[in-house]
Amino acid sequence: MRIRSVRVLACVFALNTAVPIQPANAQQYPSRPIKIVVPLAAGGVADIVARTVANGLSQISKQPVVVENKPGGGGLVGAQAVTSAQPDGYTLLMGFHGVIATLPTLKTEFKHIDEELLPIIHIATIPNVLVVKPALQVRSLNELVAFAKANPGRLNYGSQGVGSAGHLSGEQLKQLAGIDMTHVPYRGAAPATQDLIAGQIDLMFDTVALELPFVKDGKVRALAVTAPERLAILPELPTMSEEGYPGFRSSAWFGLFAPAGTPKPVIDWLNATTRAAIEKSEMRATLGAMGAQLPLGSTDQFEAFIADEKHRWDAVIKKAGITLE
């Protein structure tokens, strides 16, 4: 991972601070409108997070902050729009796990994307949950693994598409548990979940935010969450670590990025101001209800997190021989 390192010099601002945060450089950034590019369609978690950040930054800076959705290419279209922009802090990216941590390995066009973006702040992480169809006679992850070992190749798992978080999570489970399952890719989580409920596929990994209603209604059965600790919204559900797979981690995460070369004082200001904006918003409660965590740490912490994600998923992808070429 060759994301350039930046250190946070700005102070951590309290939840209820009433003192406006001052721009961090001599040019009094920002002095004109800021644009946050979301490389996904409107309405999803990345879009919601981006608009919350935009509103908060605008209130603090007294400058317009607009959100522009640029979906396409698994995030490539939006990411390239930011990497080709001037590194002045006025064009930012709401990056996510796929475009930053996995697509550089999956697709040649993304090979150097991590060198072209600077991490600003890790905003939200939403764990995945392993769910199975109700008709499958397993009640725990260990029972699922035992069934898979006794019936090699019989189970099939759905995903949001080739190279998606659900696909890689399924491959990670296969590798760690030593089991054989067949991958069934879909175009998004919704059709995969529909087929899971209908019994056309046996299991899948998806975000807690999307699967929680179906778990509550008994339309799917949850076996484990991929978070480090149990979730308050599903306290009875064990983690993958508790079930014997401590190396298993999988989540959807979102953070703010700037083009490489953006001045350090600008990165510092954006980190501190974004943190303050999120703390003042209702996002903690909203995303908390989805099982999300909001790290909101330093840029160094975000960089270390990304490096770990990229290293781990590189290994899974290469061992499974997955490619988008």
Chain-centre distance for alpha carbon 101: 9
Are residues 78 and 91 both part of a single domain?
yes
If asked whether residues 140 and 211 sit together in one domain, one would say yes
Number of domains observed in the structure of the chain: 2
Does 196 fall in a domain?
Answer: yes
Same domain, 153 and 78: no
Residues 284 and 210 occupy one common structural domain? no
Cis-peptide into 30, omega within 30 deg: yes
Check whether residue 281 and residue 294 sit in a common domain. yes
Co-location of 97 and 159 in the same domain: no
Residue 281: predicted pLDDT: 81
List pLDDT tens digits, range 218-236. 999 999 999 999 999 999 9
- Residue ending a domain, among 225, 241, 273, is 225
Sign of the dihedral through C-alpha 122, 207, 311, 325: negative
Q: Would residue 160 be called left, alpha or beta, if left means φ above 0 and alpha means ψ between -120 and 50 degrees?
A: alpha
Q: How many of the other CB atoms lie within 10 Å of CB of 162?
A: 15
- Radius of gyration for the chain, computed over Cα atoms and rounded to the nearest angstrom: 20
Residue 264 or 7, more confident: 264
Residue 2 inside a domain? The answer is no
Examine residue 6 and state whether it is found in any structural domain, yes or no. no
- Is the same domain home to 144 and 118? no
325 lies in some domain = no
Local confidence band at 280 (pLDDT 50, 70, 90 cut-offs): confident
Same domain, 159 and 141: yes
Residues whose CB is less than 8 angstroms from the CB of residue 30 and which lie 6 or more positions away in sequence, other chains included: 23, 61, 63, 89, 90
Which pLDDT belongs to residue 304?
A: 96
Neighbours of 212 (CB within 10 A): 19
Same-domain check for residues 90 and 155: no
Q: Report pTM.
A: 0.83
To the nearest whole number, what is the mean pLDDT of the chain? 88
Q: What is the pLDDT of residues 24-70, one digit of tens each?
A: 443 689 999 999 999 988 888 888 889 988 998 999 899 999 999 99
Domain that holds residue 145: 128-225
148 shares a domain with 104: no
The Cα 171–Cα 218 span in angstroms is: 26
Same domain, 211 and 158: yes
Is 257 a member of any domain?
yes
- Inside any domain, residue 83: yes
CATH number for 306: 3.40.190.150
CATH of the domain at 217: 3.40.190.10
List pLDDT tens digits, range 169-187. 999 999 999 999 999 999 8
Report the relative pairing of strands 65-69 and 34-38 from DSSP bridges. Answer: parallel
Residue 233 within a domain: no
Q: In terms of domains, do 272 and 220 share one?
A: no
Share of the chain above pLDDT 70, in %: 91
